[in-house]
Structure 1
Amino acid sequence: MRVRDLMTSPVQVIAHDAPVESAAELMTTHAVTALPVLDADGRLIGMVSDSDLLWHRVPAEPHGDPRRHPDAVPPARRPGVVVEVMSEYPITTAPRTDVADVAQLMLDHDVRSLPVLDDGRLVGIISRRDILKAMVRDDRTLAADVQLRLDDYAGRPGLWTADVVSGVATVHGRIANKQQQAVVTVLARTVPGVATVLLEPETEVVA
């Protein structure tokens, strides 16, 4: 499974000089936890997360212990625009990257989402939630999704049939040639949640 199969596209973004309030409103409206930050030329220059926006912006209870809440006294100037609170040099990924590698990257760098770049251009974003949603799809749902793609490619139902057990899809039916074999395998493999694709051993492949 590749990033392009799970990523959200188009992606919600924020300009580097936008007010932090605009970023907060955008996150709330679209139920996201981070936004790619673009410069005036539309290039990715950072990521701003809900944690970045909350940092030193929620006042402590005024009657609380000042020793426990040293930030209770408002600072002279709070950050006003996104570029002042964003994280620079964001970790990125690409559409063709394996999702397993992306999941490990998120864990290694303790981030919840990664912007997706294709030749330097922002084309999407993938989050931990996207990966988890794909992983919890049951075998029946996966089999139906694989079958739909195979039927669409064949132009009629029943030319091939598919079943899925524990994320492993097995395709049954006659394969005409190596090219068709490759297409059938790729179609099944791109279904989010399918880990491996097998062809029935007795399936005939005509060279």
Structure 2
Amino acid sequence: MSSDTPVGKIARLLEKRHIKRVPVIDDGELVGIVSRANLLQAIAAHPVVHIRADADLDEKRNVVLGALAQVPGLNPVHLNVIVADNRVDVWGIVNSKDEEDAARVALEAIDGIGEVSINLGRVPGYAWGI
């Protein structure tokens, strides 16, 4: 990877290759290393998203799905997101604890979301035939 590689591309590489770190090389020289923890920090640094007080349930759900779509390696299509009144329930399967933690950080960055319940399980690699 080079220093201008998008974060999402790095996250997909880490997930695809089942690695935790990747070197950053510019002009043939090692300039750094990006880890899964760095990706979580990048997500945590995102600005807080505000939900309007008069937003309907569909708008709230779209904000939640948008936040989850920003989590590297996480595919919101594999999640069940239920928004009711002042509560959000997220159910689904993720590949790693890192993805679960990143999803939690992304949802905590939404102001006005109300109570959040995250119910994510992990499937071991052998279940996928890896």
Interval containing the TM-score (normalised by the shorter chain): 0.3 to 0.5
Q: Which has the higher strand share?
A: 2
Q: Which has the higher helix share?
A: 2
Higher-Rg member (1/2) = 1
* TM-score for the superposition, normalised by structure 1: 0.31
